[in-house]
Structure 1
């Protein structure tokens, strides 16, 4: 018999502040943003193990022969792109190491400095990384490397905290990305505008123990000291096993929302 994922009992619904209404994550300074992003300079295997992939339709949103995946991580999106030539870059040496092991042509680079020739790609993709970049500088660089008529696609997989009351508190305990409201729009600068947007809802099935692994793949955990990590681990164990009543080995459904935005140049 297939074990069905347990559903939280209404009596376990905790009280908490409402979900985020922000357009995106906030950083006190540019240095704060850079430090948070640098957390991903290690931990590539764990990231690759637990982070979900992206819906197949994403690769169809920007057609052409040559595509670049910017901030590609371990290639979660890169490997699914249907273009004849796909290259990738990421600032993390650990992520690039995994990309190279998978045979993906890649280099260490950022969205603000792509190290590509002018008008050399037909399509650019950026999954789970745009909020780490200087949007104005990244748009200027996209304008330089994209061929005439080329498009860029910005993508986020976000745990859907609106799907079930217990999920919001889970993300707060894990510091796992209740960072933007469902109708958010990414920051975009001339010569680009948001031409199209798409939203998809789905779920990832995990064993309850894997929620710790998911927490460990987040920037907050990667930057935390041992004391903070011990507190987070204790809080998550309490929430899963005592408050929610899950048992080791149980499967849980983690709801996700994928937001995709197609960027085109203004006409003329």
Structure 2
């Protein structure tokens, strides 16, 4: 039997369509380079406002190892959001980034508990770190793989991995399956929203071993949610009038439209996608 469809319930709006992208789009190599370089002067804000990685993600990242890994290399480490979490778990971490300013923030990111690992930094591109071959059981890339040359970075990761090692690619993304977050991401111009079943591009020397998705919330005062837009490459590189318009729109959306009191703490929903890869047999050449 057919009939008239029920009217939409305004209390439960439909889930909006999410991105169809497997990775961000940049338009040109020059635009990609300009956006990537824009973060260099935003280290303090990036470190304060961007979320870290929940315990479930770190546990899943280390789950493939029969014994805890000792050494990790964090490519595109930025301000060390992931690097420091691995140090806290006892690893000897080398944070690699092309920005000395971002790595300076990583080194000054606060004390960690006694008896934990160590943090070293190295200014170098992910595609050619200059580090010894087979020098880490774990190679990580957090929020940065899409900025690299995927084929060259894959080859470098394979070279860096010790036998039996794991490459972990991880992304925190706003959970845009939630309608109010979807609109927030549009106002904020969050360009790193991927399709729900996206798969990163990697070179032929790597094979996927595991994938997991983790949903969680990051509690933030409303002003920090607004300031989070300042860490987005679109806003960083926008003319001042456009930047101020984005921030004003976010202020209206959070306080007037959604009705949050100024300074109220909002649980910002995220999803974290984790991909674990192992080197294909024969792909790594010792001594390279």
TM-score clears 0.5: yes
What is the alpha-carbon distance in structure 2 between the residues aligned to residue 95 and residue 84 of structure 1?
Answer: 21
What is the alpha-carbon distance in structure 1 between the residues aligned to residue 261 and residue 91 of structure 2?
Answer: 46
Note the residue ranges of structure 1 that are not aligned, 5 or more in a row. 1-8
Q: 1:197 touches 1:262 (CA, 8 Å); kept in 2?
A: yes
From 133, 141, 145, give the equivalent of 1:130: 145
- Residue 227 of structure 1, CA deviation: 1.3
Give the alignment of 1:83-232 within 5 angstroms.
83-102=90-109, 104-162=119-177, 164-177=178-191, 179-232=193-246
Q: Residue deviations 1:230-250, cap 9 Å, x none?
A: 211222122222222222122
What is the alpha-carbon distance in structure 2 between the residues aligned to residue 264 and residue 23 of structure 1?
Answer: 21
Number of aligned pairs?
258
Secondary structure in 1 matching 2:119:
coil
Secondary structure in 1 matching 2:211:
strand
1:21 aligns with 20
Q: 1:86 touches 1:104 (CA, 8 Å); kept in 2?
A: yes
- Residue 17 of structure 1, CA deviation: 6.8
CA RMSD, Structure 1 to Structure 2 (Å): 2.2
2:51 aligns with 52
Secondary structure in 2 matching 1:193:
strand
Q: 2:72 touches 2:94 (CA, 8 Å); kept in 1?
A: yes
Secondary structure in 2 matching 1:209:
helix
- Residue 131 of structure 1, CA deviation: 0.7
Name the stretch that deviates more: 203-212 or 51-60: 51-60
The structure-2 alpha-carbon separation of the partners of 1:29 and 1:16, relative to structure 1 and needing over 3 Å to count, comes to: farther
Larger radius of gyration: 2
Q: 2:96 touches 2:121 (CA, 8 Å); kept in 1?
A: yes
Note the residue ranges of structure 2 that are not aligned, 5 or more in a row. 1-8, 110-117, 283-288
* 4+ residue runs over 4 A deviation: 9-13
- Residue 85 of structure 1, CA deviation: 1.5
2:4 aligns with none
What is the alpha-carbon distance in structure 1 between the residues aligned to residue 85 and residue 47 of structure 2?
Answer: 15
1:3 aligns with none
What is the alpha-carbon distance in structure 2 between the residues aligned to residue 177 and residue 62 of structure 1?
Answer: 31
